[in-house]
Structure 1
Amino acid sequence: MSSSSLKQVWPEPAEMTAEQMALAALRHEIDEIDDALLDLFRKRLSLASCVGQAKDAPTGPHTKLRPDREQAVMARMLTRAAPEDAEAVEALWREIVGWGLNRQGRLQVQVWAPTDPTRAYDGARLRFGRAAELKLVRDPQAALRFAADGHGVAVLGLNTDDAWWTALVREWSSLSVFDGFGGDIPTSLAVAKIDPAALPKGRRVVVSAGGDAGLGSSARRWGLATHHGWSLSLTDAALERGEIEGCVGAIG
């Protein structure tokens, strides 16, 4: 490295020790990487804007979320990442994807979780990134209406006095579950007006009344909530959104 380059990162290179010279060289290399990352990020944001204009979507109001595409991007990045970097890579790419989506219009997310709001809010923040506008709300039905009108996403808690999820096969049949927060057995679900073809690969979310709703004894199930004969569960059965079995979405 030339003396002029070192002057950019350290005032008087002639008076530096060997350790200080080595540190200055490392910092200079980091600065160059930062510059390259910024240029690539700007390019990605520009491409995201173009993708938003060309994106296939159902007619009428809807979100521009493509959970299947996001799932594929994340899986590819985590496959390439070292195991010890996986958590950092996931968090970084959530932010990158979120800011790319922001170029297509800021994502609005309403969160209702009266029993554990912090857990639901933090899960939504990690999933959608800081580019999304999150708001805690008091009325789950209003949040569902907000999502059904195509304005954004509703993140709603489970095992509460309001069994809002029963309406996903009736009043809010235009909405689909596409993610869950709180662990392998989620304590809150994300719903939006999602193109069924864009749902992630993974366990299907089923709302049923009085029994297993035809899922079959060979299909593994995970119970999430119950209410007056209704049940909400996850299953590994291969169901399509809207089938008679009561599939209302999927969690990757």
Structure 2
Amino acid sequence: MPPCTLQQVWPAPLDVSPEQMALAALRHEIDVLDDQLLALFERRLAIAARVGKAKDAPSGPHLKLRPDREQSVLDRVVAQAAPDNREAVESLWRQIVGWGLARQGRVQVRVWSPVEPTRAFDGARLRFGDAADMKVARDPQAALAWAAEGHGVAVLAINAGDPWWIGLRREWGSLCVFDGFGGETPTALAVGRIDPAALPGGRRVLITAGGDAGDGSGLRRCGLDTHHGWSLSLTDAPVSLGGDEGCVGAIG
């Protein structure tokens, strides 16, 4: 019988400690999982590209963003995750959703935040993922005009010396607030040409005359900003977009 020509790659079993064998087995298991995750992720990207062309995707003047759908997907997967993993799962799924959206066209984001710009950018990056094309806006009015033309999303700071939000009741009626960043009390809002039917379920964003005194509607409100008799606030009441209540969007 001819001599064996195979070269031994791993050390002989006698030279491998039980700890090394266990570590090698765990690494192999991770490699297998990585291969499976990659295959599933690429399948999801392919389906996301098809969704962009499907009949139920927003069309016409609206951006291809479905905050309601994103909210339901995120809520579902986070609820299934172990409590210790929920923060990691939310961050991962934001990236997954963001790259899926990029297959329908990269989300363009303009950020205006003269105070703590890093905080606003971090919130926007977490929301839209690394796939989003994010740039600084020179002023809020330029960002609003850009968003109103349907180019993308404007993320604008509130309580930053410019009451840009009043314009959502006036010249920027085509724009909707659809998210907020900065914690339970937002310090920045995301606005864009969102299909009203696709707004997330959650607190409604109100712009009303009357400052902190309110407008007599009886809605319980959480104030965010005021300017010359105008008030920006949130309410848990299920008010409709537009109308006498001054609803201009929702925050999930």
Q: TM-score range by the shorter chain?
A: over 0.9
1:215 pairs with 2:217: yes
Give 1:4's aligned residue. none
The one-letter code matched in structure 2 to 1:137 is: A
Q: What is the TM-score of this pair, normalised by structure 1?
A: 0.92
Indicate whether 1:248 and 2:237 are aligned: no
- Matched residues, percent identical? 66
Cα distance, 1:214 vs structure 2: 4.4
Shift of 1:12: 2.5
Give distance in 1, aligned partners of 2:247 and 2:139: 24
Q: 1:136-175, aligned counterparts within 5 Å? A: 136-175=136-175
Q: Is the 8 A contact 1:108 1:153 kept in 2?
A: yes
> Residues 36-89 of structure 1, C-alpha deviation per residue, up to 9 Å, x if partnerless?
000000000000001000153565332111000000000000110011000000
Identify the residue that residue 11 of structure 2 maps to in structure 1: 12
Q: In the TM superposition, what are the counterparts of 1:4-83 in structure 2 within 5 Å? A: 11-12=10-11, 14=13, 15-56=15-56, 60-83=60-83
Q: 1:13 to 1:187 in 2, by over 3 A?
A: farther
**Contact 1:62–1:149 (Cα < 8 Å) also in 2:** no
| Structure 1 runs of 4+ with >6 Å offset | none
Indicate the residue corresponding to 1:177 in structure 2.
177
TM-score, with structure 2 as normaliser: 0.92
Give 1:155 shift: 0.2
* Contact 2:58/2:65, CA 8 A, preserved across alignment: no
Cα distance in 1, alignment partners of residues 163 and 249 from structure 2:
17
Unpaired segments ≥5 residues, structure 2: 1-6
- Tell me which residue corresponds to 1:113: 113
Rounded Cα–Cα distance in structure 2 between residues aligned with 1:203 and 1:246: 13
Q: 1:36 to 1:131 in 2, by over 3 A?
A: same
Q: Residue type of the partner of 1:198?
A: A
Counterpart code for 1:64: K
Question: For 1:168 and 1:50, how far apart are their aligned partners in 2?
Answer: 33
Matched residues in 2 for 1:155 and 1:57: separation? 23
RMSD of Structure 2 on Structure 1 (CA): 1.6
Determine the C-alpha separation between the residues in 2 that align with 1:90 and 1:220. 30
Q: Indicate yes or no: 2:195 matched with 1:195.
A: yes
Asked whether the equivalents of residues 51 and 57 of structure 2 are also in contact (C-alpha less than 8 Å), the reply is no
Amino acid at match of 1:65: L
Alignment partners' CA distance in 1, 2:12 and 2:148: 62
Q: 1:116 to 1:221 in 2, by over 3 A?
A: same
Aligned residues: 243
Task: Give 1:13 shift.
Answer: 5.1
Shift of the 11–225 alpha-carbon distance from structure 1 to 2, 3 Å rule, reads same
Give 2:3's aligned residue: none
Who is 2:4 aligned against? none
Residues 154 and 191 in structure 1, CA contact (< 8 A), matched pair in contact too: yes
Tell me whether 1:235 sits opposite 2:235 in the alignment: yes
Measured after TM superposition, the shift of residue 11 of structure 1 is: 3.6
Q: Which protein shows a greater Rg?
A: 2
1:213-250 alpha-carbon deviations (Å, 9 max, x no partner): 3431xx32110000000000001111111122100000
AA paired with 2:248? V
